[in-house]
Amino acid sequence: MNTVYTFGGNAPHDDPRQKDKTVTGGKGANLADMASIGLPVPPGFTITTEECTRYLTHGESFSDELRAAVAQALGHVEQTVGKRFGDAADPLLVSVRSGARVSMPGMMDTVLNLGLNDETVQGLASASGDERFAWDSYRRFIQMYGDVVLGLDHGLFEEALEIAKEDRGYFADTELSAGDLKELVGEYKTIVAAERGEPFPQDVNEQLWGAIAAVFDSWDSERAKVYRRLNAISAEWGTAVNVQAMVFGNMGDSSATGVAFTRDPSTGERAYYGEWLINAQGEDVVAGIRTPQYLTKAARENAGAEKPSMEEAMPEAYAQLARVFDLLEDHYKDMQDIEFTVQQGTLWMLQTRSGKRTAKAALKMAVDMVGEGLINEQTAILRVDPMALDQLLHPTLNPDAPREELGTGLPASPGAASGKIVLDADTAELWSNREEDVILVRVETSPEDIHGMHAARGILTARGGMTSHAAVVARGMGRPCVSGASGVSIDLASRRLRIGARELKEGDVITLDGATGQIMAGRVPTIEPELAGDFGVLMEWADKHRRMGVRTNAETPADCKTARGFGAEGIGLCRTEHMFFDASRISAVRAMILAEDETARQSALDRLLPEQRSDFADIFRTMAGLPCTIRLLDPPLHEFLPTRDEEFAELSDSLGLGVDHLKRRANELHEFNPMLGHRGCRLGITFPEIYAMQARAIFEAACEVSTSDEPVVPEVMIPLVATQKELAILRALVDRVAEEVFADTGSRVDYLVGTMIELPRAALMAGEIAEEARFFSFGTNDLTQTALGVSRDDAARFLGAYVDKGIYARDPFVSLDVDGVGQLVELAAERGRATRGDIKLGICGEHGGDPESIAFCEKVGLDYVSASPYRVPIARLAAAQAALRSGG
Amino acid sequence: MNTVYTFGGNAPHDDPRQKDKTVTGGKGANLADMASIGLPVPPGFTITTEECTRYLTHGESFSDELRAAVAQALGHVEQTVGKRFGDAADPLLVSVRSGARVSMPGMMDTVLNLGLNDETVQGLASASGDERFAWDSYRRFIQMYGDVVLGLDHGLFEEALEIAKEDRGYFADTELSAGDLKELVGEYKTIVAAERGEPFPQDVNEQLWGAIAAVFDSWDSERAKVYRRLNAISAEWGTAVNVQAMVFGNMGDSSATGVAFTRDPSTGERAYYGEWLINAQGEDVVAGIRTPQYLTKAARENAGAEKPSMEEAMPEAYAQLARVFDLLEDHYKDMQDIEFTVQQGTLWMLQTRSGKRTAKAALKMAVDMVGEGLINEQTAILRVDPMALDQLLHPTLNPDAPREELGTGLPASPGAASGKIVLDADTAELWSNREEDVILVRVETSPEDIHGMHAARGILTARGGMTSHAAVVARGMGRPCVSGASGVSIDLASRRLRIGARELKEGDVITLDGATGQIMAGRVPTIEPELAGDFGVLMEWADKHRRMGVRTNAETPADCKTARGFGAEGIGLCRTEHMFFDASRISAVRAMILAEDETARQSALDRLLPEQRSDFADIFRTMAGLPCTIRLLDPPLHEFLPTRDEEFAELSDSLGLGVDHLKRRANELHEFNPMLGHRGCRLGITFPEIYAMQARAIFEAACEVSTSDEPVVPEVMIPLVATQKELAILRALVDRVAEEVFADTGSRVDYLVGTMIELPRAALMAGEIAEEARFFSFGTNDLTQTALGVSRDDAARFLGAYVDKGIYARDPFVSLDVDGVGQLVELAAERGRATRGDIKLGICGEHGGDPESIAFCEKVGLDYVSASPYRVPIARLAAAQAALRSGG
């Protein structure tokens, strides 16, 4: 097995190890790949990752075999280029770069122009006919080598450079003449000698082996170790070293350098796209000192630019580049991001890789490439990042508009919105009814704010994480939301607030960008989303290739309609309690909760029944013919109770009970840990009349709406079950009410009774629970809270530190903790199926809209995922990708 | 297989099915057993449980085979007794009783005197020579049969009896003459005919089959079904029917009836113990109309009673009875509870069973019987209910003292205590320092009340369950506690309270019985516990036969000393936070929490270090040579913060920070679900300096106290771990601090680092976590909370209903939910051991003191259990029982 692989020129590229990233690293494999398809790659060689491991485990020494192999490989480079390494007359210069299996910060990056010394610099000057170029290259080499190989403080070199310019009254580096640079090289060498205690190495082989050792050593640098630990990269992988002949884009006007994309990465259009500079080095394009020129004539004309395009200025090199573009797309079957250099009329390829792109471009390219026959539908599906679709579904800020940032929070729900600040939900509703755009700003939101959140264009909270109440509800509603903006402080008494350093008052206009978390002053113009044809085409392909169904979490007809528009195939979670917060009902709800006896409670429930019935009827109509999973009342009752004195006074009037009495009752309902309190099916067990009312409303609505063409099949879901018996008791109650309604109405609908699996015990006992359940819906929000012992509402204080330290790779409320919570889901699915082969399995936690979690659901074999309306397309695409990746 | 088994007389008792409870029921098997060892049992027969099932599944009809078998068995009884069933001259009378595999309420109990009718009553009168006896028997029979077989309202008969007495101006039933009773029988028959539409059955066979059917039918009564459902008794078990010849203790002065124990069930003394009445029926002894007489001469003399003992009055029958006692003890190897009747000089045994006894008696008998060679040590160990030991370890109320009950709550921590009511912890401490006994009465307690709880003789709370803060801490301290006494309401402003209907004020004296939950007015005298020699002997045997170690949960030297006295073999859980609440430290703790930066925090920690070090040194000294598991800080920080304005003001002075600022900081630390919040190892991850201080205190103390004879081996326990990484990070921290201390002090101790397994995820990931952990301690309190999704502090609202409905068989915080939580424990133990074969496994939740849970720990193979000091003896005995039962 080779320790060194050559590429470029007449090197053979047929050893499969050479294109194996684990052997030659990402960069080495890629260079070999380009060379093997005949692209003009500067010749060079790669020392394998295995040699890195050998070096580090053998006292940081090189074997004689390796030294021999490098010498031989260097010979290949010399022969191909026609120059000799260290040749005083016309020296070969090389670059040395690290290249691990995956791109990894913390390792040595690059040393350019290696091979220059006091002698060869003269040779380079005469061979290139450009003395300034030669001395500038030498200067840069000493600085780079001093910094990354010798470990000297690079500030020392910067300082010397600045002094040199100041002394001469220059402003730009380019003003330095060859003579100036020669002097500067002298100063640089003095710095090296003083700092290092030895002169700058003049022996080019010493330079080379020093750089190779530096690359290997950098694998064990502290920064690299930290990065590896955080990203589960094994220390044994090692890094490869790439040594490559230098090419120069700055050898006069027949030389150039540029970066390009084979298609427009912003729009996805099939047009070469890029920038270049004549007589420049790669870093000059990036540094922005000179304004780069357009690549194509069309682009230049389109922009009305003066300076010639490469197509016009260097037609031969451009034609060669265009051929390379086509070759690369055909080879890699994807849009490429390219770096190239033209040295004295000859094109050299320095890098190619799949290019980053906007969501819109990704979509267009994927669909176009299928049309072009370049890729098939499956590949197209896998090409688009599902999360990126989010950008396409919400209004976005006009990137060209000026913006004044006041502060930032967490990007909790995407989209952009502008409006007047309102500080409570009632004001939000009031102003919104006056046709004003409002942004609801709260310390944090609670279920009582729902109507205000609905009325607002966007939501900003000072507290709460990515999965706080505000964030979850906003995503469900498709409202932009910035949460946990710690720079926001609110003084309700004076109706004023502070965002960062700025004092504002209710009514002032701000703009939120829910995709970045930015809060801006005034109104920043937005761009409406275009759900272009490509979107529909890709979604259609996705639907064809996915196995799992995609439902939505929704409870209002508006949300249901949105979700159907996005392709939802049913409701996976209808949270009935959201209907309880409606202003017209809350007093009946409160009367029910505070009832002193069952009669009083029943009379309040009787008032709620017709309201709930009409809610469900609306939903069944909207979702006509599609399955609807309706969860019976879940939150602890005290969430519905008043908190403010006015509300207590109002309630006291309407119930005819003293304020003190009501406050005492409310206080009695207080819980230390409401998440683990008297909620879910525990309400149904202790107050069966509440669940009975809800079941009646469901069945009456179903009987009313159901038709033979579009039958309503309600799926009644019992929350927070931990034991078979809870479900048995409540299922019997639902069955009894169903039969009563069927008898009363003379009609009958099919229905299922099932449960959420959202407690570890429920997962463990799934085999027994399945005896009573026709379906399981994994409530992974609560399952995560209980399995990890983490309250979503309180996690902000430590979860950030946890993700930073890699304790959890990602926020476990955003992406399912597959290792831990995943075990419970898998085990429950297995045990549930063992008891009831045809049990329907779905997920309705927030994870149902997260691609990584969806991939897990596919693996476990769930029947469907359910996501908030705006996440439905993401879920459809992610489900298709998951099916394709698992070989479905 | 027989459908009917005869017993008594010359019946064979050699078919093993006859002594099999599943065939003949508990009572039937017992009667056969007694008869087979030659005891004088009235002859009779048992219809098998299988016939019950047959009857209920065959349209409630009897087979001809059964009818024939019953006729034949009845013949055996007739022959043995020498009377004929239905014989007008000298009738055989029988009793009919149900008898299932286990004793089960809701089924038909007993019909006596069956076989009487208008004719046979005359025969009975003449044969017994007692007309009154005959008519009284007939009257009783009609009433009993009417009630339990015919299903008539027994009130009707009672009423007729009352009227008969009133009409005649009588007070007692005994005043009714034969003639009166004859008239009453006439009225009874009229009632039956009117209610039933048919006359009272005169055919004795109809009577018999009616009673048999009634027994079978009662198996399917609603009450029986409910009981079965709640106790997991299969409906298919069925009940047997026992038909037995009547014997009469009320046939003159040579007849008698009595109940007896073969030893004193109260003291355990080896002395026959019982009561008897001449010329009486069994029910008369129980009813208390006549005062029963002592059984033995010694007992009579001892009590100074007049009426003769049975030993004196009926020496032959008594001698016969004494022989039976010895025979029974020898046969059953246990103290027996006996019912007997002497009919005209002949002794008949009606029942024998192992007798209930006090804890003290159980202990004495178990030890005595080993001495007598009746049983071996293993049996003795199994004979004593571990929970009953609790009675022996705490002062108890003098049962003879009068008591005025004000209300009741939950029996949260055993023992009795009297004292003045105090309404807050500071007052408790203040008054206690004045040498006053106080009872702390709170709505509920929090960690801030610890000093008051310690100062109090007993604790009473209005809220909270058996495992509330008050209950857990009180049990740990050995303080009696009554929790969740909903009848208690407190008005702190006026320093008054109400218990039930009684208005009281601070300073009034009450008494608590923590073993029953009673709250009494004034001071009720108590009896101090005697840990007699028998206790020590039994504990020694238990220690010999148990496999698991027994440690204690303790954090004060006083508790440690108590626990050692009770035989604790180490500390399983030392909760360091309890030390933080000490008045002298709380301000440093608060300064640490509210520190604005790490420097301020470190300076507060520096003040705490010597305090913690001396805490640990004290504990290590007390536990010299025994292992001590010390848990690093666990509760959320806001638990330590002030709540009252005075406290804030004080803190403001000491920290030099504004009250508003402090309140805002305190408010920021508020959590929605503190149980799932920023606590446990999350504190260690985010504030490593806190854990570092604690670790330093532990190691410095250990180095100070450790000697070569009694080395200190601290076991540092990291709480609330959910991931391997958390433990890895914190273990590295502890190791680093240990090395620092060893270097500083120049000495070195062995130590272990391990973790609590108290989150479902930790249990699931135990294999990985074990890579970092030398031990696991199952924190089953929190594991139960998270696995079941139930907050211990909030569960009172529904857990009662849950246990009532049989959703959980017992409070899962008292007895481990083996089905659910048990799976997690078992799985974690397996996975932990798979990774690290010698990992030490223990349990430190409250369940560590619960015998059923301890049996589970034995099954899973844990190395030790840890219980609060007063539960240590219970745990020792329960562990021995568990080992013996699992064949160890």
Q: In the prediction, which pLDDT does B844 show?
A: 95
Cα-based torsion angle of the residue sequence B871, B877, B880, B882 in order, rounded to the nearest 10 degrees = -70
Which amino acid, residue B24?
T
Annotation marks residue B469 as catalytic: yes
Nearest to A676 among B725, B729, B790 (CB): B790
Query: Does the pLDDT of residue B465 top 80, yes or no?
Result: no
Nearest to B678 among A671, A794, A819 (CB): A794
Q: How many residues does chain B have?
A: 888
Give Cβ neighbours of residue B820 (< 8 Å, ≥ 6 apart).
A722, A723, A760, A761, A764, A765, B787, B788
CB A870 within 8 A of CB A566: yes
Which tops the pLDDT comparison, B162 or B104? Answer: B162
Query: Does the pLDDT of residue B391 top 80, yes or no?
Result: no
Residue with tokens 């055909």: A330
Nearest residue of chain B to residue A637 (CA atoms): B797
Cα-based torsion angle of the residue sequence A435, A437, A442, A444 in order, rounded to the nearest 10 degrees = 100
In CATH, the number for domain B394-527 is 3.50.30.10
Q: Which CATH architecture has domain A546-573+758-888?
A: Alpha-Beta Barrel (3.20)
Which amino acid, residue A620?
F
Q: Could you please report the per-residue DSSP string of B508-526?
A: -EEEEETTTTEEEESPPPE
Interface contact flag, B675 A676, Cβ < 8 Å: yes
Instruction: Suggest the residue from B226, B673, B727, B733 to mutate for an interface test with chain A (most A CBs closer than 10 A).
Output: B673
Of residues B659, B528, B689, the one with CA closest to residue B597? B689
A177 backbone dihedrals φ, ψ, rounded to 5°:
-85, 175
CB A872 within 8 A of CB A542: no
Residues of B in contact with A677 (CB under 8 A): 791, 794, 797
- CA-CA distances (angstroms) from residue B587 to A156, B260, B581, B583, B780? 51, 64, 9, 8, 32
Catalytic residue among A13, A76, A394, A469: A469
Annotation marks residue A451 as catalytic: no
Token readout for B17 is: 């099915």
Query: Does the pLDDT of residue A41 top 60, yes or no?
Result: yes
Rounded percentage of chain A residues whose pLDDT exceeds 90: 67
Q: Is-same-fold flag (A546-573+758-888; A576-712+723-753)?
A: yes
Of residues B751, B647, B749, B727, the one with CA closest to residue B425? B647
- CA-CA distances (angstroms) from residue B696 to B440, B685, B735, B744? 36, 17, 10, 11
pLDDT level of residue B250 (50, 70, 90 thresholds): confident
Interface contact flag, A674 B673, Cβ < 8 Å: yes
Q: Choose the CATH number for A4-245 among 2.40.10.170, 3.30.1490.20, 3.40.50.720, 3.40.50.300.
A: 3.30.1490.20
Residues of B in contact with A801 (CB under 8 A): 685-686
Interface contact flag, B798 A686, Cβ < 8 Å: yes
CB A632 within 8 A of CB A719: yes
Burial class of residue A315 in the structure, from the number of CB atoms within 10 Å of its CB (0-12 exposed, 13-18 middle, 19+ buried): exposed
- CA-CA distances (angstroms) from residue A741 to A619, A699, A738, A748? 19, 7, 5, 8
Give Cβ neighbours of residue A379 (< 8 Å, ≥ 6 apart).
A333, A366, A369, A370
Query: Does the pLDDT of residue B530 top 70, yes or no?
Result: no
Token readout for B243 is: 């038909």
> B442: which strand partners?
B461
Q: CA B749 to CA A726: how far, in whole Å?
A: 52
Q: CA B335 to CA B363: how far, in whole Å?
A: 12
Give Cβ neighbours of residue A67 (< 8 Å, ≥ 6 apart).
none
Which tops the pLDDT comparison, B78 or B306? Answer: B78
Mean of all residue pLDDT scores within chain B: 91
Q: In the prediction, which pLDDT does A397 show?
A: 87
Rounded percentage of chain A residues whose pLDDT exceeds 70: 98
* Angle (nearest 5°) at CA A556 between A550 and A558: 85
Query: Does the pLDDT of residue B888 top 60, yes or no?
Result: no
Q: CA B137 to CA A511: how far, in whole Å?
A: 95
Helix A780-788 crosses helix B780-788 at what angle (to 10 degrees)?
A: 180
Instruction: Suggest the residue from A229, A687, A764 to mutate for an interface test with chain B (most B CBs closer than 10 A).
Output: A764
Q: In the prediction, which pLDDT does A286 show?
A: 56
- Does domain B256-354 fall into CATH 3.30.470.20? yes
Q: In the prediction, which pLDDT does B236 show?
A: 86
Q: CA B346 to CA B256: how far, in whole Å?
A: 10
Residues of B in contact with A671 (CB under 8 A): 791, 793-794
Q: Where are the domains of chain B?
A: 4-245, 256-354, 394-527, 546-573+758-888, 576-712+723-753
Q: CA A482 to CA A493: how far, in whole Å?
A: 23
What is the tens place of the pLDDT at every residue in B39-61?
A: 999 999 999 999 999 999 888 89
Token readout for B824 is: 């997690």
Q: CA A390 to CA A566: how far, in whole Å?
A: 12
CA neighbours within 13 Å on the CB side: how many for A402?
Answer: 2
Q: How many residues does chain A have?
A: 888
pLDDT level of residue B179 (50, 70, 90 thresholds): very high
Nearest to A685 among B761, B805, B823 (CB): B805
Token readout for B789 is: 């999704």
Residues of B in contact with A798 (CB under 8 A): 678, 682, 685-686
Interface contact flag, B793 A726, Cβ < 8 Å: no
Q: CA B845 to CA B780: how far, in whole Å?
A: 5
Residues of B in contact with A805 (CB under 8 A): 685, 725, 729
Q: CA A686 to CA B486: how far, in whole Å?
A: 18
Q: CA A8 to CA A243: how far, in whole Å?
A: 12
Mean pLDDT, range B360-387, rounded to an integer: 94
Catalytic residue among B469, B545, B638, B847: B469
- CA-CA distances (angstroms) from residue A796 to A118, A769, B668? 59, 34, 12
CB pairs under 8 A, 24+ apart, for A129-138?
Answer: A130/A251, A130/A252, A131/A178, A132/A177, A132/A178, A132/A181, A133/A248, A133/A250, A133/A251, A134/A178, A135/A178, A135/A181, A135/A182, A135/A184, A135/A185, A136/A176, A136/A181, A137/A93, A137/A113, A137/A248, A138/A113, A138/A181, A138/A185
Q: CA B824 to CA B844: how far, in whole Å?
A: 15
Of residues A314, A228, A238, the one with CA closest to residue A21? A238
ipTM topping 0.95: no
CA neighbours within 13 Å on the CB side: how many for B82?
Answer: 1
Q: In the prediction, which pLDDT does A236 show?
A: 86
Residues of A in contact with B790 (CB under 8 A): 676, 722
Nearest to B675 among A673, A729, A807 (CB): A673
Of residues B264, B210, B216, B271, the one with CA closest to residue B238? B216
Helix residue ranges per DSSP H, A149-280: 154-168, 178-196, 204-218, 222-230
Which of the residue ranges A746-755, B263-272, B370-379 would you say has the lowest mean pLDDT?
A: B263-272
Helix (H) or strand (E) segment spanning residue B499: strand B496-499
pLDDT level of residue B256 (50, 70, 90 thresholds): very high
> A353: which strand partners?
A337
The pTM assigned to this predicted structure is 0.81
Interface contact flag, B673 A794, Cβ < 8 Å: yes
Query: Does the pLDDT of residue A230 top 70, yes or no?
Result: no
Helix (H) or strand (E) segment spanning residue A412: strand A410-413
Rounded percentage of chain B residues whose pLDDT exceeds 90: 67
Conformation bin of residue B305: beta by default, left when phi > 0, alpha when psi is -120 to 50: beta
Interface contact flag, B760 A720, Cβ < 8 Å: no
Interface contact flag, B761 A674, Cβ < 8 Å: no
- CA-CA distances (angstroms) from residue B870 to B413, B456, B460, B862? 10, 17, 19, 21
Q: In the prediction, which pLDDT does B532 show?
A: 62
Which amino acid, residue A720?
L
- CA-CA distances (angstroms) from residue A132 to A125, A143, A180? 8, 17, 9
Q: In the prediction, which pLDDT does A493 show?
A: 87
Interface contact flag, A672 B805, Cβ < 8 Å: no
Residues of A in contact with B819 (CB under 8 A): 765
Which tops the pLDDT comparison, A388 or A726? Answer: A726
> A62: which strand partners?
none
CA-based nearest distance A672→chain B, Å: 7
Q: In the prediction, which pLDDT does B356 show?
A: 81
Q: In the prediction, which pLDDT does B476 show?
A: 67
Helix (H) or strand (E) segment spanning residue A573: strand A571-575
Q: In the prediction, which pLDDT does B364 show?
A: 93
Q: Which CATH architecture has domain B576-712+723-753?
A: Alpha-Beta Barrel (3.20)
Of residues A10, A143, A142, the one with CA closest to residue A76? A10
**How many Cβ contacts (< 8 angstroms) between chains A and B?**
162
> B5: which strand partners?
B46
Q: In the prediction, which pLDDT does A285 show?
A: 64
Which amino acid, residue B414?
P
Residue with tokens 């020296």: A91
Token readout for A744 is: 């009363």
Mean of all residue pLDDT scores within chain A: 91
Query: Reduced to 3 DSSP states, what percent helix, strand and coil does chain B have, rounded to the nearest 5?
Result: 50, 15, 35
What is the tens place of the pLDDT at every residue in B77-112?
A: 999 999 999 999 999 999 999 999 987 777 777 899
Give Cβ neighbours of residue A221 (< 8 Å, ≥ 6 apart).
A106, A107
Instruction: Suggest the residue from A443, A721, A788 to mutate for an interface test with chain B (most B CBs closer than 10 A).
Output: A788
Interface contact flag, B760 A685, Cβ < 8 Å: no
CB B676 within 8 A of CB A673: yes
Interface contact flag, A786 B790, Cβ < 8 Å: no
Which amino acid, residue A174?
T
Rounded percentage of chain B residues whose pLDDT exceeds 70: 98
Cα-based torsion angle of the residue sequence A860, A863, A867, A871 in order, rounded to the nearest 10 degrees = 90
